[in-house]
Amino acid sequence: MSRGLIVVDVQNDFCEGGSVPVAGGARIATKIADLVERSAGGDYQYIVATRDHHIDPGGHFSETPDFQESFPVHCVAGGQGGEFHPHFAPAVTGGKIDAVFFKGAHSASKSGFEGADEQGTALADWLRARGVEDVDVVGIATDHCVRATALDAVKAGFRARVLLDYSVGVAPHTTAAALADFQQAGIAVTGAAPVQ
């Protein structure tokens, strides 16, 4: 039995200075990089990352966004906003991340389980092929893509845990709703939920 870590969307556009910034994103990027550095080959047999990678996501991009289903333009494929944040990127370039899963080319795709790696392998299939049964989920944002990824992990048959000390939420009310969703789905939660 293996445990995996899923790092969700630690990208420039979701951190301070990005097009859809979450306050505290850069700080969380640093904390996650430290977690990866400490845990690679130890607590986690496998560490993967997800990336929003939009080409033409339709109504997900909007000039009048509701910030639930529609958002300003962000994480465009090939653009700087879609790159990993500089505080986290060295973990990827340094070989600490085993695979990157791209999601949302032509849809909203909040969940990492809707993504695929460069070979087209879906996240759930990649994890199962390596005997992973338990996953920890961290990243940006607790109440959006972290939430969707954790819930889909359970739907795919994995035991999931969300590490709140390594995640950051957008707003108190939506983060509280996400925590309720986690409890209902049987997802374990550790730490406190930072919301800026």
Question: What pairs with residue 169 in β-bridges?
Answer: 195
Residue 145 among the catalytic residues: yes
Contacts of 41 (CB under 8 A, 6+ apart): none
Q: Please tell me the number of Cα atoms within 13 Å of 10 on its side-chain side.
A: 30
Q: Residue 102 carries which DSSP code? A: E
Q: Tell me which of 9, 13, 52, 152 is the catalytic residue.
A: 9
Residue 9 among the catalytic residues: yes
Residue 75 among the catalytic residues: no
Q: Tell me which of 13, 103, 143, 152 is the catalytic residue.
A: 103
Amino acid letter, residue 169: G
7 C-beta neighbours (distance < 10 Å), count: 31
Q: Show which residues are catalytic.
A: 9, 103, 145
